[in-house]
Amino acid sequence: MAVVKVYEDQILIPATIIICEHIRTHERFYRNRFQDPRFTSWLNEQLVERFQRIYQNEAQAAFAAGGTVGYMGRWLLNGLPGTSFESAQQLCRLAMLSLSEGQMWKKPAQEALSV
């Protein structure tokens, strides 16, 4: 699992910053790859596997993976605006929001089953 660091109320995952910087450095390569549905499908599946370890829920992992691939594709399409740090920060915020929302969804479902 990735190391999560909190700095000035901002959640950062160092690996995400490294990935964003890698995409920026190899922008031309990724621009071409993101146009290939087989690549985006493969990338999505790789992310689902990794996110399942974090979310402990296949549906949430699939949603997070699809969102990440979509975010990265859009970021490339828009010319990589902002810094790699800012993009990584946004992705981490979305991931943490999804993670906290997932915890809220589990509780009512468990309570409904016990009634």
Query: Does residue 114 belong to any structural domain of this protein?
Result: no
Q: pTM, whole model, 2 decimals?
A: 0.73
Q: List the Cα angle 90/46/6 in 5-degree steps.
A: 30
Query: Does residue 83 belong to any structural domain of this protein?
Result: yes
Q: What is the pLDDT of residue 59?
A: 92
DSSP 4: P
Mean pLDDT for the stretch of residues 10-20: 78
- The tally of domains found in the chain comes to 1
Tokens standing for residue 87: 């993009």
Query: Does residue 44 belong to any structural domain of this protein?
Result: no
- In this predicted structure, the answer to whether residue 78 has a pLDDT above a threshold of 90 is yes
Q: Looking at per-residue confidence, does 72 or 107 come out higher?
A: 72
Query: Does residue 30 belong to any structural domain of this protein?
Result: no
- In this predicted structure, the answer to whether residue 28 has a pLDDT above a threshold of 80 is yes
Query: Does residue 41 belong to any structural domain of this protein?
Result: no
Query: Does residue 3 belong to any structural domain of this protein?
Result: yes
Structural domain harbouring 14: 1-19+51-109
Band the pLDDT of 51: cuts 50, 70, 90.
confident
Tokens standing for residue 3: 């190391």
The Cβ of residue 89 has, within 10 Å, a number of other Cβ atoms equal to 20
Query: Does residue 87 belong to any structural domain of this protein?
Result: yes
Query: Does residue 36 belong to any structural domain of this protein?
Result: no
